[in-house]
Structure 1
């Protein structure tokens, strides 16, 4: 990938990251407005992001369409998913003594994220032939 293509991919990843962050923020605000638990929105965006980046990886978009992959993969999905918020929420649960909720949340995020990615990978591979 030449310098111009690298700069283009970098800019697209930044643009996509902004979109992903806005989507995540919107999901969090919507969850609070609907009186849902904030960690439900974080879990949802993390699982969705894992699934969709799995599709991109399985379809090998990084090699075939590097600029589009930069926009959607590390960009939108990277901005959408959030492990920093996850860790703040886990620390809050621990401080509040909600150990059972903490354990379920961590398991759902890590195991669910891996399963969502794997399912996306399978779908991406199948779509790629």
Structure 2
């Protein structure tokens, strides 16, 4: 494997990232929250994205097609999930004097994402995960 990414893989990540970002934007527009309220849409997006990303190794099609793996992993799900909004919403909650809600959001998101990854991991086998890693994963 060469050090330079193949142009089709770059295109797959870019197209997937655009789709994921549009989906995230659409959901946060459809389910807005006030700056001092728990940001449920971003919470759900990050938990769902974590689950789906961890589930990718269970898909034989994804394991066999590197372009699909990078389009879905760093592309769609990378564009869909968001650390920046998570951080900014936590800061906004603190700024609004909602320290308890901010802490719940900060720690709750982390805990829920870890549980989602554990559940998805449980749904894939050790052999599927190992094959995914050996086939390049979502690099």
Report if TM-score (shorter chain) is over 0.5: yes
Q: Secondary structure at the match of 2:97?
A: coil
Structure 2: 5+ residue stretches without partners:
130-139
Indicate the residue corresponding to 2:134 in structure 1: none
Report the alpha carbon displacement of residue 57 of structure 1 after superposing the two structures with TM: 3.7
Indicate the residue corresponding to 1:101 in structure 2: 101
TM-score by length of 1: 0.84
**Structure 1 CA distance, aligned partners of 2:116 and 2:62?**
19
Q: Is 1:87 the equivalent of 2:87? A: yes
Q: Could you tell me whether the CA contact under 8 Å between 2:45 and 2:81 is conserved in 1?
A: yes
**Structure 2 CA distance, aligned partners of 1:68 and 1:122?**
22
Q: More helix per residue: 1 or 2?
A: 1
Structure 1: 5+ residue stretches without partners:
none
**Structure 1 CA distance, aligned partners of 2:84 and 2:40?**
15
Higher deviation after alignment, 61-70 or 16-25 = 61-70
Aligned residues: 126
Q: Could you tell me whether the CA contact under 8 Å between 1:13 and 1:71 is conserved in 2?
A: yes
TM-score by length of 2: 0.78
Indicate the residue corresponding to 1:19 in structure 2: 19
Q: Could you tell me whether the CA contact under 8 Å between 1:28 and 1:38 is conserved in 2?
A: no
